[in-house]
């Protein structure tokens, strides 16, 4: 049995689907179901006897302890986190509570839980902490990609909270001997991604003939990783990663935000054309985000050498699959873009319709 925290979110739910397609071992999803946690993401596996769901918050020590003592997992994959930079700029305290305090509570509960095991069994336990490349800060045009040895230099409240949680995980390995693993991934995209992030936001706005807001001139560079490739990497780390080590996961797809948006527009011109002209004409440059990191890039050499993982999707193949999924699931998009989503647009953008982008 394994436990997946945040398993109703974007990457977590994709990992649940991937796990159940690849493994017979049962899992439990533990999720607070905040705005980005959605049980619809798990609907395709809801009837699978290997799957179960527990609603709970990682900051609730008693709830976490009850879960561990009841299901007695041999591993935890820790996705649960606040993850949107724009939201962290507007409301950083929630990121401190969930990402830092929540990770601490989880680590403490796991430390006590694991201490109950026989000494011969304790080393088989694994705690996989899923983090982000944003902890490393920003790169210049000619800087080498982030490696596992790159010093932390977070530039947003979100990135700072994830860097802090990474350090707590590291400390529990070195102080208490907790068998942990950390991974830093680049920008994910794929099915079930909440449409506050760049790619689903642009798809959603284009379909509704809204402006496609782009921060600044769109020259910021990101490495894009299809979520299925990320899930494959996580399985490899959980199975074969060295305890106490960090692994960087990237897609080998460095693109500017403008290139990404224009690619989405060209695909939509084929699959869902506008009445007049190209979707590219809907791109609208807007004032840049405060402290916007300019470039992220990932050196995947370590995970490739040690674990034999390489990404399978190019951005061309991955974005085709992603667009097809969103076009084929209009009910999912409609359900997640009502209620709390529209309230966020009203609060953050002032109109109920996005006039500034939400980009990672």
| Catalytic residue set | 133-134, 158
Within 10 A of 343 (CB to CB), how many other CB atoms are there? 12
Q: What is the DSSP string of 287-331?
A: PPPTT---B--B--HHHHHHH-------HHHHHHHHHHHHHH-HH
Nearest Cα neighbor of 257 from 189, 310, 314, 190 is: 189
What single DSSP character describes residue 338? S
Q: Hey, what are 55's tokens?
A: 């609603």
Q: What is the DSSP string of 82-118?
A: ---HHHHHH-HHHHIIIIIIHHHHHHHHHHHHHHTS-
CA pair distance 233, 303, nearest whole angstrom:
8
CA pair distance 16, 233, nearest whole angstrom:
14
Radius of gyration of the chain (CA): 20
* DSSP strands (E only) in 169-305: 180-185, 187-189, 212-215, 221-226, 246-249, 254-256, 283-286
In the numeric block, the tokens 């009445």 are attached to: 275
Q: Hey, what are 4's tokens?
A: 């997946």
CA atoms within 13 A on the CB side of 266: 9
Task: Give the three-state DSSP class for 54.
Answer: strand
Task: Give the three-state DSSP class for 117.
Answer: coil
């Amino acid at each position: 049995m394994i436990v997946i925290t945040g398993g109703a979110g974007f990457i977590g739910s994709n990992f649940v689907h991937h796990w159940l397609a690849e493994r017979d071992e049962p899992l439990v999803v533990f999720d607070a179901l905040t705005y980005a946690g959605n049980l619809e993401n798990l609907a395709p596996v809801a009837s699978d006897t290997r799957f179960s769901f527990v609603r709970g918050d990682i900051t609730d020590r008693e709830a976490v302890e009850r879960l561990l003592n009841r299901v007695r997992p041999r591993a935890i994959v820790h996705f649960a986190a606040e993850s949107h930079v724009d939201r962290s700029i507007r409301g950083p305290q929630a990121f401190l509570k969930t990402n830092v305090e929540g990770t601490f509570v989880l680590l403490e509960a796991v430390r006590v839980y694991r201490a109950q095991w026989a000494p011969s069994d304790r080393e088989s336990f694994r705690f996989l902490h899923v983090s982000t490349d944003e902890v490393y800060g920003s790169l210049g045009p000619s800087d080498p990609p982030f490696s596992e040895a790159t010093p932390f230099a977070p530039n947003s409240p979100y990135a700072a909270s994830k860097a802090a949680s990474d350090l707590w995980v590291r400390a529990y390995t070195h102080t208490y001997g907790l068998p942990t693993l950390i991974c830093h991934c680049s920008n994910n995209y794929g099915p079930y991604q909440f449409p506050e992030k760049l790619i689903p936001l642009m798809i959603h706005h284009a379909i509704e003939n809204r402006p496609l807001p782009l921060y600044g001139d769109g020259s910021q560079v990101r490495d894009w990783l299809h979520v299925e490739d990320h899930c494959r990497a996580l399985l490899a780390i959980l199975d074969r990663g060295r305890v106490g080590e960090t692994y960087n996961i990237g897609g080998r797809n460095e693109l500017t935000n403008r290139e990404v948006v224009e690619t989405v527009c060209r695909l939509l011109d084929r699959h869902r054309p506008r009445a007049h002209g190209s979707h590219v004409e809907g791109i609208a440059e807007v004032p840049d985000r405060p402290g916007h990191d300019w470039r992220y890039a990932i050196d995947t050499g370590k995970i490739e050498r040690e674990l034999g993982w390489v990404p399978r999707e190019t951005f061309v193949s991955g974005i085709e699959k992603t667009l097809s999924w969103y076009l084929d699931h209009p009910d999912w998009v409609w359900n997640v873009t009502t209620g709390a989503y529209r309230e966020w647009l009203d609060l953050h953008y002032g109109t109920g319709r996005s006039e500034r982008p939400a980009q990672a």
